[in-house]
Amino acid sequence: MPTQLRASGICKRFGPTIILDRAELSVGAGEVVGLTGENGAGKTTLMRICAGLLAPDAGRVRVAGRVGYCPQVPGLFDLLTTNDHLVMFGRGAGMGRKQAIMRGHAILDEFGYPIQDKAVTKDLSGGTRQKLNLAIALLADPSILLLDEPYQGFDRGTYVNFWDHCETWRSQGKAVVIVTHMLAELARVDRVMELAPHPSRAHRWADA
Amino acid sequence: MPLRRVLIMAEMHGRDLLRRRVAIALLVALPFSFYLASSDSGPGAAASGGVALAFAVSGAALFSVLSSRAADQRLILSGYRPFEMLLGRLLFLGPLALAIAAMFSATMAPVSSPARPWVLVLGIAVVALQSVPFGLAIGSAVPRELEGTLVLIGVVGLQLATRLDSVASKVLPFYGPRELLEASLSRHAPIGRPLFQTVVYGVALLIAARLCVSRRVNIVRHEPLVLSRSAAGVARSAAGVARGAADAARTARHYAPRRGRFVGQEGAVRPQAFQGERWPRHSRSRGRALR
């Protein structure tokens, strides 16, 4: 299984707080990795570093192919419609207007997205916005998918559907990393990587 | 291809702003209300109206940058370049500013009856155009809306409060446009120098915005995993070795002892890898002292 993403020796600190200490992550083609860990362990930081949105203090990330990143908090424009988002993000990936809308709608249909041409995203429910967030990550057909708790706000049917899609992505040869706290679904991933908080943060500091 | 990305960016920012109907109404109403409120004060009314126009347009430019902050990096990840995003905003906000300036000029010219009406129209247009790079530069440089708004109010307010011939006024971005507005009231005041100064300042603001936006939204381009055996590949491998050495140096710096004293909870075991090292005083930022 050829490696699609390899992050090695990743260190990151914010001010005095060490978030990541020589973290390693390697994902092969057709592999689904579950990234778990308690709050503040550095899961999102590691995902952002792997996506290229954050520079590590030390360490290196190497990728083979396009990266699709679905952040935990969807960075969408409140007053743009679904199609506006698809056109804008699709154009960045070199897609034409029609192509971006067709591909976007095909992805959204798979997740049961209620497409309304004139509805702006601020009027959509949290789960629906999250579906659009996920669709934008998938729009350019990336070979590496970094999904940071992508199912937040999904209804039960879509949630089950999402995990079914993971198997589809695996069969398509994509390298998938999913940040998850859903332990019941960990059986559906190929490998689980638990990120522990740095030992320096396990200590409590005495009051004066 | 980059032109298409710029056009899409302009279109989407246009859609986003034009759907804010109240904001658009305020954008038009603010300069008119300032001007009409001070129209009794004679020549000073033109400057007041110009400053209000600067407030309105640079405010719109500022918020166009800051409101999309969360999405900007993701847009870069999808393939946009920082300068394309900046140009897209400029391409929409520039004509919008000129449209507001045209409406404003149509009111000001008959009411103020300047000696040279065309200079007044030029001055208003220059105020509007200068406001766009000014708002973009502030929006790209500051971290949040509050800071940006305060800087904007401070700079534009200072421009209005200072005398035109003072040094402070001359170093501010709206000195040239303000001089043009004042020049419209006389038949002989020069217009070439203020116009030139405005253009230079505008270009400098755009360069500043470009640099700030790159620093804020740029992403890390990862190295490819597949190594080629070609000459280029060998060169890349050598570069990789050099980067590895740099990584090792960064790692060493990352774990270098910092000022402060390590104090763990009583009985706590200090992590093996960090024994003997001195750690930063975490609690300093929380307002606690260490024992």
Segment among A13-22, A29-38, B171-180, B222-231 with least mean pLDDT: B222-231
Q: Identify the band that residue A146 occupies on the pLDDT scale cut at 50, 70 and 90.
A: very high
Q: Does the pLDDT of residue B66 top 50, yes or no?
A: yes
Contacts with A11 from chain B: Cβ below 8 Å: 250-251, 254-255
Domain ranges of chain B: 2-217, 236-286
Contacts of B21 (CB under 8 A, 6+ apart): none
How many helical (H) and strand (E) elements, i.e. helices and strands, does chain B have? 11, 1
The pLDDT > 90 percentage for chain B reads 45
Q: Does the pLDDT of residue A49 top 90, yes or no?
A: yes
With contact defined as beta carbons under 8 Å apart, do B288 and A207 qualify?
yes
Mutate to test the interface with B, among A13, A22, A91 (most CBs of B within 10 A): A91
| Integer Cα distance of A102 and A97 in angstroms | 9
With 0-12 / 13-18 / 19 or more C-beta atoms within 10 angstroms meaning exposed / middle / buried, residue A113 is buried
CA distance B81 to chain A (A): 9
In this structure, the number of other CB atoms found within 10 A of the CB of residue B171 comes to 11
Q: Identify the band that residue A177 occupies on the pLDDT scale cut at 50, 70 and 90.
A: very high
Q: Identify the band that residue B114 occupies on the pLDDT scale cut at 50, 70 and 90.
A: confident
Contacts of B213 (CB under 8 A, 6+ apart): B65, B82, B83, B85, B86, B136, B140
With 0-12 / 13-18 / 19 or more C-beta atoms within 10 angstroms meaning exposed / middle / buried, residue A127 is middle
Domain ranges of chain A: 1-65+143-208, 78-141
Q: Identify the band that residue A73 occupies on the pLDDT scale cut at 50, 70 and 90.
A: confident
| pTM given for the model | 0.81
Contacts with B266 from chain A: Cβ below 8 Å: 206
Segment B197-218 shows an average pLDDT of: 91
Q: What is the pLDDT of residue B255?
A: 53
Q: Identify the band that residue B287 occupies on the pLDDT scale cut at 50, 70 and 90.
A: very low
Computed over every residue of chain A, the mean pLDDT equals: 89
pLDDT digits (tens, 9 = 90+) for B222-241: 888 864 445 555 555 566 66
With contact defined as beta carbons under 8 Å apart, do A62 and B223 qualify?
yes
Q: What is the pLDDT of residue B276?
A: 39
Q: Identify the band that residue B279 occupies on the pLDDT scale cut at 50, 70 and 90.
A: very low
| Integer Cα distance of A79 and A84 in angstroms | 10
Residue B223: closest CA among chain A residues belongs to which residue? A62
Q: Does the pLDDT of residue A40 top 90, yes or no?
A: no
Q: What is the pLDDT of residue B202?
A: 93
With contact defined as beta carbons under 8 Å apart, do B30 and B128 qualify?
no
The partner residues of A62 in beta bridges, in order of sequence, read: A6, B223
Q: Does the pLDDT of residue B43 top 90, yes or no?
A: no
For the domain A1-65+143-208, what is the CATH code?
Answer: 3.40.50.300
Phi first, then psi: give them for residue B81, nearest 5 degrees.
-110, 150
CA distance B283 to chain A (A): 7
| Integer Cα distance of B101 and B28 in angstroms | 9
Contacts with A61 from chain B: Cβ below 8 Å: 220, 222-223
Q: Does the pLDDT of residue B100 top 60, yes or no?
A: yes
Segment B247-268 shows an average pLDDT of: 50
Q: In terms of pLDDT, which residue wins out, B33 or B289?
A: B33
The pLDDT > 70 percentage for chain B reads 76
CA distance A184 to chain B (A): 31
Q: In terms of pLDDT, which residue wins out, B220 or B41?
A: B220
Q: Identify the band that residue B277 occupies on the pLDDT scale cut at 50, 70 and 90.
A: very low
Q: Are strands A175-179 and A58-63 parallel, antiparallel or unpaired?
A: unpaired
Exposure on the CB side of residue A54, measured as CA atoms within 13 A: 21
Across the interface, of B255, B271, B282, the residue whose CB is closest to A205 is B282
Across the interface, of B19, B225, B279, the residue whose CB is closest to A64 is B225
Q: What is the pLDDT of residue A208?
A: 34
Q: Does the pLDDT of residue B38 top 90, yes or no?
A: no
Q: What is the pLDDT of residue A201?
A: 65
Between chains, do A52 and B220 touch, taking CB under 8 Å as contact? yes
Place of tokens 């006024």: B169
Q: What is the pLDDT of residue A24?
A: 93
pLDDT digits (tens, 9 = 90+) for B125-141: 999 999 999 999 999 99
Type of residue numbered A55: A
Across the interface, of B80, B254, B271, the residue whose CB is closest to A57 is B254
Place of tokens 């362990």: A41
Q: Does the pLDDT of residue A51 top 80, yes or no?
A: yes
Across the interface, of B12, B70, B285, the residue whose CB is closest to A75 is B70
Q: Does the pLDDT of residue A5 top 90, yes or no?
A: yes
Place of tokens 């935990």: A72
Q: Does the pLDDT of residue A17 top 90, yes or no?
A: no
Q: Identify the band that residue B285 occupies on the pLDDT scale cut at 50, 70 and 90.
A: very low
Q: Does the pLDDT of residue B261 top 60, yes or no?
A: no
CA distance B12 to chain A (A): 7
